[in-house]
Amino acid sequence: MGIRIKLIGLTLLSALFIACGDESPQNTYIPDFEIKPHPSDANVFVFRNTTQGEHYYWRWDFGNGERTNRVPVETTEMQGFYPENGTYTVTLTIWGSQSDWSDNKQVSKQVVVENDVFIPAFEVTPVDGKTNTYRLTNTSSGEYDRESWLVNDKVLDKTEQNVEVYFPFEGENKISISLSHGEFEKTMSKILSITEDDPDFRSHYQLVWNDDFDGSIIDKEKWLFETGQHGWGNAEWQNYTDGQNIAISDGTLKIIARKSGEGQQVGDYTSARINSKPSFTYGIFEICAKMPDYQGPGVWPAIWMLGQSIREGTNWPLCGEMDIMEYVSWDPNKTSSAIHIESNNHAKGNAIGSGHVPLETAEEAFHIYGLIWTDTELRFYRDDCSNILLTYKKPANANMDNWPFDQPFYFLLNMAVGGNYGGVHGVDDDIFPATMEVDYVHVYQMK
């Protein structure tokens, strides 16, 4: 690599100032420096202070985004790292006074860098015999200390020159390689478009957490109760209890809403709301459940997930909410799915949802309510992965307001009474007790 040094400016000499009654000039000095290549690192240059005359402070601006503060001159040499080709202007400022900030002069020179320290590059090729599987091959040139692969901005745990990556679903995926040399890092990206889902994608997932409710009591290692009768943000009427409103028998969990008072006001009804202790990021989530027998309006069962961050102080809806299934008894034989995020939620009147989708046997039969959650999209489905009710893709300008879905979420199973949604058409006191049954909760993640 060649290095060319060009002097672009003469030393800027300050005019001599004459103090009143004193014809002696201030100390004169001529700032200057030399540039030499580093003996072993081609993209590092050594700058040697050759200023003539008495001087006290200096400041370097290396032209590569790095500079020093105004500090006492204690050495004759400094170094600058220039990772990319180009022309850089290096400026040395010298102070000839220990107290006068205005007593300074500058000199600038250019260095011309002809080569990058490294150039990140890679190839993407399909793997024969493996659906939606691609080989990433590092073809970078130059010297670097570290490399890492990223898929959709997530760092892979593999750093080999060749890696295989599986993409189960159609859509665009951002693939990147990031290289580092010391503190310098550079990333190169490509977009890979997958045109079809892998029809056998489920074989790449494995069961990682479940509750099949085969016992007779709630598993407190998996679930905890939320209790209270404060309306829960939706003007609801139920008091959530710590176990009196659930039962486990015949392989199902029963969440039971009861009328316990005179009715028609907060606290006159009891129900249950249980939350999973663990939380999860990405996967296939399936809950098999049956809605209460239809008897009239007033109950609001839900199977949903909230961002773990709400347990750590983040407010709703910034934490994110994924409603896998909601049902309101004033509109029987239908279910819905929705998301609530900072940019789109029911409080703003712009929640993203499926609307009430017909399901003639919602109250008579068990159905699977599912969510496929990846780092690029959410798919809500019913009974079969191909029966999609709602899809939400990660926005191009993703941030916490519109995509809080790169963090853990936990399950909530509950049945509310009344409220701004469940009580739109009132609460019929003759419908109680009302029971939602849950056969199982399954979580699958990529092998």
Say if CB 301 and CB 414 are below 8 A apart: yes
- Residue 53 pLDDT > 50: yes
* Residues above pLDDT 70, as percent of the chain: 94
Indicate the average pLDDT of the chain: 92
- Residue 10 pLDDT > 60: no
- Residue 309 pLDDT > 80: yes
Q: What is the pLDDT of residue 14?
A: 32
- Residue 121 pLDDT > 70: yes
Say if CB 373 and CB 285 are below 8 A apart: yes
Mean pLDDT computed over 400-409:
98
Please tell me the pTM assigned to this model: 0.82
Q: What angle do CA 55, 59, 63 make, to 5 degrees?
A: 140
Q: What is the pLDDT of residue 215?
A: 93
Task: For CA atoms 181, 151, 376, 204, give the dihedral sign.
Answer: negative
Token digits of residue 53: 């005359």
Mean pLDDT computed over 21-47:
81
Q: What are the contacts of 222-229 at 24+ separation with CB within 8 A?
A: 222/276, 222/277, 222/278, 223/274, 223/275, 223/276, 223/277, 224/274, 224/275, 224/277, 225/272, 225/273, 225/274, 225/275, 226/273, 226/274, 226/275, 226/412, 226/414, 227/273, 229/266, 229/267
Q: What is the pLDDT of residue 26?
A: 53
> Residue written as tokens 């050495």?
75
Q: What is the pLDDT of residue 392?
A: 98
Q: Which domains does the chain have, with CATH numbers?
A: 3-113 (2.60.40.10), 118-199 (2.60.40.10), 202-446 (2.60.120.200)
pLDDT digits (tens, 9 = 90+) for 190-203: 999 999 999 999 99
- Judged by average pLDDT, the poorest of 154-163, 238-247, 253-262, 358-367 is 154-163
- Residue 35 pLDDT > 90: yes
- Residue 16 pLDDT > 60: no
Please report which confidence band the pLDDT of residue 27 belongs to, taking 50, 70 and 90 as the band edges: low
What CA dihedral angle connects 48, 52, 56 and 59, to 10 degrees? -40
168: left (phi over 0), alpha (psi -120 to 50) or beta: alpha
- Residue 8 pLDDT > 60: no
Mean pLDDT computed over 414-426:
97
Among candidate residues 109, 145, 303, 345, the one with its CA nearest the CA of residue 211: 303
307: left (phi over 0), alpha (psi -120 to 50) or beta: beta
Catalytic residue annotation: 321, 326
